[in-house]
Amino acid sequence: MDKLLIEGGRRLAGEVAISGAKNAALPILCASLLSAEPLHLRNVPQLRDVATMLRLIEQMGVQVSREGTSEVVLDSRNLDNPLAPYDMVKTMRASILVLGPLLARHGEARVSLPGGCAIGARPVEQHIRGLQAMGAEIQVEHGYIHARIAGGRRRLQGTRIVTDMVTVTGTENLMMAAVLADGETTIENAAREPEVIDLADCLVSMGARISGAGSDRIRVYGVERLHGASHTVMADRIETGTYLCAAAATGGSVRLTHTSAAYLDVVVDKLLDAGCEIVAEREAIRLVAPRRLKAVSVRTSPYPAFPTDMQAQFMAVNCIAEGSAVIRETIFENRFMHAVELIRLGADIRIDASNAMVTGVEKLQGATVMATDLRASASLVIAGLVADGETLIDRIYHLDRGYERIEEKLGQLGAIVRRVR
């Protein structure tokens, strides 16, 4: 199993390009299931989760052609196996995103029920309830969701759905199911995340009729069929935020290209509060960090508030900042696993239910630590970059799920990071 060896204490400086967004690419790959014509995608990041999703749809009969490093053409004309087996779903919960498109296009689907994961129970009953409201007959048996359009009908039925909580992939699944439904579907309490907008933009370029994506009420007017299209995946706002935090923690000065500050308002505000200077360019963002950061408190909430996917990275930043901060996690019930690892590096963190009180220390010390999930891994990388001596991060397959060529990109910024096989 690969490990990452970081020699800490170097200021990050220079320029690096941000990749396409994992959490936009994954639903957009699934959108290809909705049409019998090819979908040409650009800016697709080379990540383990993307490779898993491509394998998953390939075994359903989708023809996948890679063009260069970041382009892929998906042809679903021969889609004949609407099955997402346990072996694949267990490695990537986002596999649930095939459920809505398969049902809408193929009339049936068998998708393994995702289990819990390191950050929480993560049930999917909102996906199931929404599809049932659209006329799907769903049974959960032997660990699988069996779904088909009820009553021998060919299409799902448009309807009004109000989700109990804001769910990102739930909104995406229902939106994809609704594009081929008969009549109008309204999704209330919809997730407003930028990745939902990117998916809607891609669907619209395929011929879907959608309004309101990016608000909490999405309207979808079902059409008979979608056609081929090409789409460029948006930049990864979480990767952007992660590199900003890494630069900030190391007292660095960086320019991140192929991205923007557009969807990072709260993250940028917090880094400004911490004492960083930030300049937003049209397709780049620059950050200059002070000698020592000030501690900043954050509370996670659905977009446009502070993202849970940036919580761990801000915890790492606060570990070496001046003063104390409270990190409050409200989305996932178990997303502080990185705290105990950060403590191994010398951090001062106290956890009380969903609050973490972090008091900054002058220095962290390198040690061997264990990555537990994707964003937890990113926080350990940031801590390793500022720690004295060497930090060895075990189980970095988590990092490879969501950060493209991380050791190479950090190296470009002057960090000494090596993958140990």
| Least distance to ligand EPU, CB of residue 372, Å | 12
Contacting residue, 3, 90, 122, 328, with ligand EPU by CB under 6 A: 122
Cβ nearer to ligand EPU, comparing 165 with 420: 165
Distance CA 120, CA 131 (A): 23
Among the residue ranges 82-90, 101-109, 121-129, 135-143, the one whose residues contact ligand EPU (CB under 6 A):
121-129
Contacting residue, 15, 67, 125, 137, with ligand EPU by CB under 6 A: 125
Phi, psi for residue 30 in degrees, rounded to 5: -70, -30
Would you state the structure tokens that stand for residue 82, as one six-digit string? 């609407």
Give the CA distances from residue 254 to residues 9, 205, 248, 312, 345, in Å, rounded to whole numbers and listed in that order: 16, 35, 9, 21, 25
Q: Which of residues 385-414 bind ligand EPU (CB under 6 A)?
A: 402
Q: What is the largest CA-CA distance in the chain?
A: 67
| Least distance to ligand EPU, CB of residue 224, Å | 29
Angle between helices 22-31 and 48-58 (to 10 degrees): 10
Question: Which CB contacts under 8 angstroms, 24+ apart, belong to 83-91?
Answer: 83/59, 83/109, 83/110, 83/111, 84/56, 84/60, 84/109, 84/110, 84/111, 84/112, 85/59, 85/112, 86/112, 86/143, 86/144, 88/52, 88/55, 88/56, 88/112, 89/113, 89/114, 90/114, 90/115, 91/52
Cβ nearer to ligand EPU, comparing 35 with 308: 308
Residue 237 Rama label (left phi>0; alpha psi -120 to 50; beta): alpha
By CB under 6 A, the count of residues binding ligand EPU is 23
Does 170 contact ligand EPU by CB under 6 A?
A: yes
Does 261 contact ligand EPU by CB under 6 A?
A: no
Among the residue ranges 36-44, 104-112, 163-171, 352-360, the one whose residues contact ligand EPU (CB under 6 A):
163-171
Contacting residue, 140, 165, 280, 420, with ligand EPU by CB under 6 A: 165
Selection from 344, 327, 345 nearest residue 336 by Cα: 327
Convert 254-276 to b/e letters by CB count within 10 Å (16 or more is b).
bbbeebbbebbebbbebbeebbb
Tokens 């606060």 belong to 318
Binding string, residues 355-384; x marks residues near ligand EPU by CB under 6 A: -------------------xx---------
CB atoms within 10 A of CB 290: 13
Does 26 contact ligand EPU by CB under 6 A?
A: yes
Contacting residue, 19, 35, 43, 308, with ligand EPU by CB under 6 A: 308
Does 299 contact ligand EPU by CB under 6 A?
A: no
| Least distance to ligand EPU, CB of residue 348, Å | 26
Does 120 contact ligand EPU by CB under 6 A?
A: yes
Distance CA 5, CA 172 (A): 37
Residues annotated as part of the active site: 117
Cβ nearer to ligand EPU, comparing 39 with 166: 166
Among the residue ranges 29-37, 102-110, 167-175, 349-357, the one whose residues contact ligand EPU (CB under 6 A):
167-175
Would you state the structure tokens that stand for residue 93, as one six-digit string? 């919960």
Does 162 contact ligand EPU by CB under 6 A?
A: no
Cβ nearer to ligand EPU, comparing 310 with 317: 310
Convert 101-134 to b/e letters by CB count within 10 Å (16 or more is b).
bbbbbbbebbbbbbeeeebeebebebbbbbbebb
Contacting residue, 84, 131, 226, 331, with ligand EPU by CB under 6 A: 331
Among the residue ranges 160-168, 215-223, 310-318, 383-391, the one whose residues contact ligand EPU (CB under 6 A):
160-168
| Least distance to ligand EPU, CB of residue 366, Å | 25
Contacting residue, 201, 309, 329, 400, with ligand EPU by CB under 6 A: 309
Does 157 contact ligand EPU by CB under 6 A?
A: no
Enumerate binding residues for ligand EPU (CB under 6 A). Answer: 23, 26, 94, 120-127, 165, 167-170, 308-309, 331-332, 374-375, 402
